[in-house]
């Protein structure tokens, strides 16, 4: 099971979540008093899965039509929003406040995560 509590230790983390391959929320954490809730995270997870699917198509086509490699399979998607960023890798994600967000640290931590579906 993904260690969502560990993801919440990232600087600026306001939520962490696990999802299945359809984007349905399996588990989540949110900071006390935060704006994000289960319903919002479920939709966010669906959006991330949708964007990964599109990027996967593009990566597949890019590799097939050029000599560039290493893009497929797409493992993660990050939305840098106006105030928040959602970083996903595999079936786990974390939402961070943009101020001081360390995306590399998030990917490093997410890279070691697995989620039970």
Q: Is 9 in the site for other proteins (CB under 8 A)?
A: no
Neighbours of 103 (CB within 10 A): 13
- Which three-class secondary structure state does DSSP give residue 95? strand
Report the residue from 9, 21, 54, 117 that binds other proteins according to the rule CB under 8 A: 54
Cβ-contact 78, 53 below 8 angstroms: no
**Shortest separation between residue 102's beta carbon and other proteins, angstroms:** 5
Q: Is 80 in the site for other proteins (CB under 8 A)?
A: yes
User: Any idea what the Cα angle at residue 60 is, between residues 54 and 65, rounded to 5°?
Assistant: 125
Q: Contact residues for other proteins (CB under 8 A)?
A: 35-36, 39-40, 43-44, 47, 50-52, 54-55, 58-59, 62, 65-66, 68-84, 87, 89, 98-99, 101-105, 107
């Amino acid at each position: 099971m993904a260690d969502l509590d560990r993801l919440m230790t990232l600087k600026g983390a306001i939520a962490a979540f696990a999802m299945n391959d359809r984007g349905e929320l399996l588990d989540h954490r949110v900071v006390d008093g935060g704006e994000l809730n289960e319903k919002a995270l479920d939709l966010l997870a669906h959006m991330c899965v949708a964007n990964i699917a599109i990027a996967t198509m593009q990566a597949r086509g890019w590799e097939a039509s050029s000599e560039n490699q290493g893009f497929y399979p797409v493992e993660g998607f990050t939305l840098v929003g106006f105030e928040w960023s959602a970083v996903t890798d595999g079936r786990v994600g974390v939402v961070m406040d943009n101020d001081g967000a360390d995306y590399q640290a998030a990917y490093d931590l997410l890279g070691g995560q697995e989620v039970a579906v």
